[in-house]
A and B are shown apart, each in its own frame.
Chain A
């Protein structure tokens, strides 16, 4: 891809990510009205511009996204996560004109402490149309895929990128079309982890890259609670390798910049906890049980392997893809990064 087109796509990706965060900020500041609509119109115009300018480049993504969007517009909303949690939160934001009334803890089953970034975007889609309905607003989840996928297209050549997109569709599968946020979370996680890898282990230091990494980290932490855990693990994996490399001092300045990404989610969590709204699925005793209890039990390893290898064929394929690419292009740092990250994640599961 020529450099000017790469620059264009990176800029599009940055602006789209900024507009998503901006939408959340505007609603947080109680501007649920004209400003949100303007923000969203710019978002749509930029998406159209992305399609028109350099029409022939990035064609697979453009075709795939259009198809995905059409399918989103033709499916109804079923599923517990979608109805009881994400769409219900969006509906509350739309009718209450605010994210803060969530702490009245109405309908506790809907996990009122969940971060509300994508739900805010969904509510804004409904605001643009002028009334609440379910089909068009839920396409906000499809639009969330654009910034990371556009960004990654600038780092891979045509052949690798099209294979990458095919793999993404295969591994995400149904999640692409569900309002469960898991697919969106996966897309932002791999992009954030990749950005961390090229910044801290390939020592790329470009302004745009730093900015987009920060934006992706912010979005990752605000998609759902698991996003925060994944972000912590990305930081932890990076720091652990840097400690082993005895390179922590040089890294600390760089990494402290990205700590800013925790601010919005911590602010939201403090607000929820100070109003008595907490996560009903989490407790420190459970964490202790999971962390220490499972580490010393051999059965837990057996259970994990059974699940990972026998009950989930996609993870087996993912492992095969990982080891094949590792064999073809071995990178010690990437290998350690992935292993430490996976080990931490398994225990948290």
Chain B
């Protein structure tokens, strides 16, 4: 059995542990009650994890039923955007040979516009 002295140490360290968990988990992480209310939501509250541009890339590709896509040179050179678009859009796959290319809005080229969003546009390039 735990004696009184040990009990005090026991309670002290339990409290220390709980404070630490709250400090690291809530204060130093992006903890949000909105996410906790429904952690099984299909889009997984993705707006807290990714920039609008990445989410829009997925909306555009899905709405046009594109399975393989390419990215403009500017998007490929921006390593963060490049990696996030690739991982977030999977199982839609990035493929350099694809005619369907995502561009930053306003990038100039001779490709045919398929769909425009607020930040990106999908074009068909020959």
Contact = CB atoms under 8 A, between A and B. Distances in A.
A127 B36 CA distance: 20
A174 B26 contact: no
A325 B119 CA distance: 58
B10 A76 contact: no
A280 to B, nearest CB: 14
Contacts of A59: 14
Interface string B41-74: 1111110110000000000000000000000000
Contacts of A60: 10, 13-14, 17
Contacts of A259: none
B4 interface: no
B17 A88 contact: no
A159 B6 contact: yes
B32 interface: yes
A308 interface: no
Taking residues whose C-beta sits less than 8 angstroms from the other chain, chain B's interface range is 35 or more
A95 B90 contact: yes
Interface in B65-110: 83-84, 86-87, 90-91, 93-94
A162 B8 CA distance: 12
A109 interface: yes
Nearest to B41: A133
B23 to A, nearest CB: 9
A242 B93 CA distance: 52
B24 to A, nearest CB: 5
Contact of B39 (A78, A136, A169): A136
B29 A75 contact: yes
Interface stretch (A61-69, A217-225, A231-239, A331-339): A61-69
Contacts of B18: 63-64, 67
Taking residues whose C-beta sits less than 8 angstroms from the other chain, chain A's interface range is 35 or more
A73 B87 contact: no
B118 interface: no
A77 B84 CA distance: 12
A110 interface: yes
Contacts of A163: 9, 13
Interface string A102-145: 00001101100000000000000000010101111000000000
A63 B13 CA distance: 12
B25 A177 contact: yes
A323 to B, nearest CB: 21
B84 A83 contact: yes
A131 B43 CA distance: 10
A59 B10 CA distance: 11
A91 interface: yes
B24 A75 contact: no
Contact of A173 (B16, B24, B43, B86): B24
B102 to A, nearest CB: 16
Interface of B: 2, 6, 9-10, 13-14, 16-18, 20-22, 24-26, 28-33, 35-36, 39-46, 48-49, 83-84, 86-87, 90-91, 93-94
25 contacts: A59-B14, A67-B21, A67-B22, A71-B26, A73-B36, A74-B33, A75-B30, A83-B83, A91-B90, A107-B83, A107-B86, A109-B83, A133-B40, A133-B42, A134-B46, A158-B2, A158-B10, A159-B10, A162-B9, A162-B10, A162-B13, A163-B13, A169-B24, A173-B24, A177-B24
Given A71-B31, A129-B40, A176-B21, 14 more contacts: A68-B21, A71-B21, A71-B26, A77-B44, A78-B30, A78-B49, A83-B49, A84-B87, A95-B90, A134-B49, A135-B40, A173-B28, A177-B29, A178-B29
- Give the 7 A-B CB pairs with smallest separation, nearest first: A74-B36, A71-B25, A76-B48, A134-B44, A135-B39, A133-B44, A88-B87
